[in-house]
Amino acid sequence: MAISSPPDVQPPRVVAVGASAGGVEALTRLAAGLPADLAFAVLMVLHVPAGAPSVLARIVDRSGPLPAESAANGTPLAAGRIYVAIPDHHLLVRGHRLMLSEGPTENGYRPAINALFRSVASEFGPSSIGVLMSGVLDDGVAGLGAIQARGGATIVQRPDDALYPTMPQNAIDARVVDLQATAADLGGVLKRLADREIKERPMDPDINLELENRIAMGKRFEVSMEGDTLGPPSGYTCPDCNGSLMTLSETSYRCRVGHAWTADALLKARDEEVEGAVWVALRSLKEKATLSRRMAQKVGPGALFDRYTKVADEAERAMSVLGERLWDSTGQRKD
């Protein structure tokens, strides 16, 4: 059942902010530049591990004039306050209140930036603003597109100002960005946007957006999702559960239990799988070579000695070939 806003209270406009690698520095600089009379509620998502301590709200609270707090389920949104996502929960909005969800991970993350942005786009439309900051890969890019499509404004931290510029640059390349600014200047940009006229316009319901919002709002291990309605099979499997991935668009996928992946994140997950498989092969070959040498020493000269020695030589040659494949992105050997 939808949660309604308190009576006689005008729901505030909302700024949704997402960051990943380098995000603590970016978010604190943003908070420091926000005006004390900001007419927006600010929602922040930072990619953090599920078991990480929830300290970001305290860091942000000390950084600028607006009070910041860890998001709590059901809290009514208020202008001039910052609500920070907590680990292992998506931060969403519903009925102009905060909603925390243990719905499926997206690109391996919970909280995910796309989940917040889609939720804000659906709930607030032209009264929403999306801000994407420092990070890698492309979480948040599709969400910015949803905000823009529903009439909201989209901003990214200038790539040359970000510690990790890939995420904002991917949004620019996807043409879903209205404005660019440094983290320190974003407060002034938001202050100006507070004075813009909001033009409500009739819009047809976005069935895919609504479906993805329902998925994000689901319970952990939810199995009643309408997986077959997502799209055609992609031919790929989900890194989280090994289930079939359905095609949402040319660059986004979901499995039947809801895990979401963008093309870039899926490619990175495949890289990690391949590297993991190569390390397993290396370990097995090393053990094979060591055991064969030991067996050769045990039996002494003769046909068996030659056989075990040949097996060890072949395993060591294979180790050398595989070792040459284990290079990281800087070209340095990992072995």
> How far apart are alpha carbons 168 and 136 in whole angstroms?
9
Domain boundary among 166, 194, 222: 194
Task: Identify whether residues 87 and 178 lie together within a single domain.
Answer: yes
Residue 175 CA neighbour count, 13 Å, CB half? 0
Q: Which residues are catalytic?
A: 20, 47, 139
Rounded CA separation 327/318 (Å): 16
Cβ atoms of 96 and 5 within 8 Å: the answer is yes
Residue 334 lies in a domain: no
More confident residue, 300 or 181: 181
Q: Is residue 215 part of a domain?
A: no
Average pLDDT over residues 117-145: 95
Look at residues 150, 172, 194 and tell me which one is the last residue of a structural domain. Answer: 194
pLDDT value at residue 231: 82
CB contact at 8 A, 33 and 186 = yes
Of the candidate ranges 3-7, 167-171, 278-282, the one whose mean pLDDT is the lowest: 3-7
Does residue 76 lie in a domain region?
A: yes
The token pair that represents 37 in the structure block? 């009379």
- Domain of residue 110 covers 13-194
For 143-165, write each residue's pLDDT tens digit.
999 999 999 999 999 999 999 99
pLDDT score, position 226: 58
The residue out of 144, 172, 194 marking a domain boundary is: 194
Give residue-wise pLDDT tens across range 232-250.
Answer: 888 888 988 888 888 888 8
Name 252's Cβ contacts closer than 8 Å, sequence gap at least 6: 142, 260, 261, 262, 263
User: Tokens in use for 250?
Assistant: 């040319």
pLDDT in tens, 247-269: 888 888 888 888 888 888 888 88
Strands 13-19 and 128-132, by their bridges, are: parallel
Q: Which DSSP letter does residue 220 get?
A: T
Per mean pLDDT, which range of 153-157, 181-185, 196-200 is the poorest? 196-200
- 110/218 Cα distance (integer angstroms): 13
Query: Is residue 6 one of the residues assigned to a domain?
Result: no
Nearest Cα residue to 23 out of 52, 1, 2 = 52
The pLDDT, as a whole number, for residue 225 is: 58
User: Is residue 135 pLDDT above 80, yes or no?
Assistant: yes
Query: Smallest Cα–Cα separation from 174: which of 230, 231, 252?
Result: 252
